[in-house]
Amino acid sequence: MKVSNDIVMTYLVETDGSLTDLATKIASDQSTGTFVPLPGETPELKARVAAKVLEMRELASASVPSFPQGKPAGTVYKRAEVDIAFPFEAIGYDLAALMTIVVGGVYSIRGFTGIRVVGMALPDGFTRAYPGPQFGVRGSRALTGVFDRPLIGTIIKPALGLRPHETAEIVKELIESGVDFIKDDEKLCSPPYSSVKDRVKAIMPLIKDHEQKTGKKVMYAFNINHIDLDEMMRNHDIVAAEGGNAAVININSIGQGAFLALRKRSQLALHAHRNGWDILTRHPGLGMSFSVYQQFWRLLGVDQFQINGIASKYWEPDDSFVASFHDLTETMASEREQPMPVVCSGQWGGQAPETYARTGQTLDHLYLCGGGVVSHPGGPAAGVRAVQQAWQATREGIGLDEYAKTHRELREALDKFGALGE
């Protein structure tokens, strides 16, 4: 589908009007046109910057419009996938310009009853113009020293309310359980009762002490998020100065420009939480697919990307998670490092066999459990061991029930959490 130096976008369009007219309108509105013909719009200018409709593939029509229309029942809403080529010359390497031209403006066009951005093929140069992941899969493995299985991680719970010394007590127990990765909840930024500085002071000595004794350095992702970039960089520097090596970023809440500014100076593995993303993808006829969204963020430098998991606690169906996993493992042209998928939400180990089977039997991910670890009947450390056991069984091709006969923590997890999902 990629054409020379063009940026080729694919849109799922829906209308009770003319599909062809709307496809042409995207190309015109998003390059040279406005609502009336213009004197300066010469053929030479158009040849240089005008977008072109390459192909339209009509799909089955719909009887219910994606945007409510208040039209009589029986109205037919035609649907198609449309490929449109935007000349590189019209955009340049600026992802903000790209977002405005090929995404932002399109959502405003009148006449659509549905519009979703479902594909984006960038010229190779884009990948070289952006930093990409600094750590990604290889760096995350190198920093944790875990090479032959998924990284196993957990989240401090409750999400909000713990003071730094209370957090540290939980961290101490988790570290001793052999966990590879711990993160602050995405909702715990730097509220008055628990600043990043105080959390770092309470937690990093425990991480370093454990490293001294065992050689194992647990990766702790501090939530350094802040709308004020200066404040976020100060948080970053506090973590780095105390020997921390990771940070949680709510990528949609700070936005792409602030994320790139952070990435350019970052010494930390950047763990992306995509809260807010759901509203852009949950309606299948509207918004944007993850395959497009993730391209922006991996160019900008996300190292670890949360994408939910099998039987997550959120709305997202398993198939959607599986597709996201494959999107992240597909290589972008000229890419130096790949981001590490983070399998998460409602995970406790019971989903290990299906996760493994449906993600191409790869072990290259971070398997992240919050409540599924913290509320294990034997406590958080037993929760971590149960997850480790689930992945050990999965790698060896042994059923979880079978493995649980000789592994108490897994048995207890199956008894407690297995029952929840039934």
Of the candidates 278, 294, 293, the one whose C-alpha atom is nearest the C-alpha of residue 338 is 294
228 near a second copy, judged by CB under 8 A: yes
260 near a second copy, judged by CB under 8 A: yes
Site string for a second copy, 388-417 (x = CB under 8 A): -----------------------------x
Structural contact between residues 140 and 303, judged by C-beta atoms closer than 8 angstroms: yes
- Taking the least distance from each CB to a second copy, the nearer of 315 and 406 is 315
The residues with which 369 forms a beta bridge, in sequence order, are 154
- Taking the least distance from each CB to a second copy, the nearer of 137 and 300 is 300
- Taking the least distance from each CB to a second copy, the nearer of 249 and 269 is 249
302 near a second copy, judged by CB under 8 A: no
21 near a second copy, judged by CB under 8 A: no
Among 16, 46, 52, 408, binds a second copy (CB under 8 A): 46
Query: How many other β-carbons are positioned within 10 Å of the β-carbon of residue 373?
Result: 30
Binders of a second copy among 177-216, rule CB under 8 A? 186-187, 189-193
- Taking the least distance from each CB to a second copy, the nearer of 126 and 143 is 126
Binders of a second copy among 138-167, rule CB under 8 A? 157-162, 166
33 near a second copy, judged by CB under 8 A: yes
Bond from prior residue into 158 cis (ω within 30 degrees of 0): yes
Shortest separation between residue 362's beta carbon and a second copy, angstroms? 25
Task: Report residue 401 as tokens.
Answer: 């029930």
Alpha-carbon torsion (249, 254, 256, 258), positive or negative: negative
Dist. CA 46–CA 32, nearest whole Å: 7
Shortest separation between residue 182's beta carbon and a second copy, angstroms? 15
Shortest separation between residue 361's beta carbon and a second copy, angstroms? 27
Among 54, 75, 81, 100, binds a second copy (CB under 8 A): 100
Among 3, 19, 49, 323, binds a second copy (CB under 8 A): 49
- Taking the least distance from each CB to a second copy, the nearer of 304 and 306 is 306
118 near a second copy, judged by CB under 8 A: no
How many residues form the binding site for a second copy (CB under 8 A)? 105
54 near a second copy, judged by CB under 8 A: no
Dist. CA 324–CA 80, nearest whole Å: 22
Written as one letter, the residue type at 402 is E
Q: In what order do the strands lie in the sheet with 52-62?
A: 52-62, 77-86, 7-15, 114-121, 286-288
Among 10, 32, 388, 389, binds a second copy (CB under 8 A): 32
Residues 6+ apart with CB under 8 A from 374: 154, 155, 156, 157, 170, 380, 383
- Taking the least distance from each CB to a second copy, the nearer of 180 and 316 is 316
Task: Report residue 125 as tokens.
Answer: 């140069």
Among 6, 180, 316, 327, binds a second copy (CB under 8 A): 316
Long-range pairs for 351-355: beta carbons < 8 A, 24 or more residues apart = 351/309, 351/310, 351/311, 352/387, 352/390, 352/391, 352/393, 352/394, 352/400, 353/390, 353/393, 353/394, 353/399, 353/400, 354/310, 354/318, 355/309, 355/310
- Taking the least distance from each CB to a second copy, the nearer of 144 and 294 is 294
229 near a second copy, judged by CB under 8 A: yes
Written as one letter, the residue type at 57 is R
The residues with which 247 forms a beta bridge, in sequence order, are 222, 270
Task: Report residue 92 as tokens.
Answer: 């340049």
Helix axes 290-300, 256-265, angle to 10 degrees: 40
The stretch near a second copy (CB under 8 A) out of 9-17, 88-96, 135-143, 197-205 is 88-96
387 near a second copy, judged by CB under 8 A: no
Shortest separation between residue 87's beta carbon and a second copy, angstroms? 9
CA dihedral of residues 355, 357, 362, 366 (deg, nearest 10): 10
269 near a second copy, judged by CB under 8 A: no
Among 75, 253, 329, 392, binds a second copy (CB under 8 A): 253
110 near a second copy, judged by CB under 8 A: yes
Shortest separation between residue 22's beta carbon and a second copy, angstroms? 12
420 near a second copy, judged by CB under 8 A: yes
- Taking the least distance from each CB to a second copy, the nearer of 347 and 389 is 347
Shortest separation between residue 327's beta carbon and a second copy, angstroms? 18
Among 133, 150, 244, 287, binds a second copy (CB under 8 A): 287
Residues 6+ apart with CB under 8 A from 154: 174, 179, 181, 182, 183, 368, 369, 370, 373, 374, 380, 383, 384
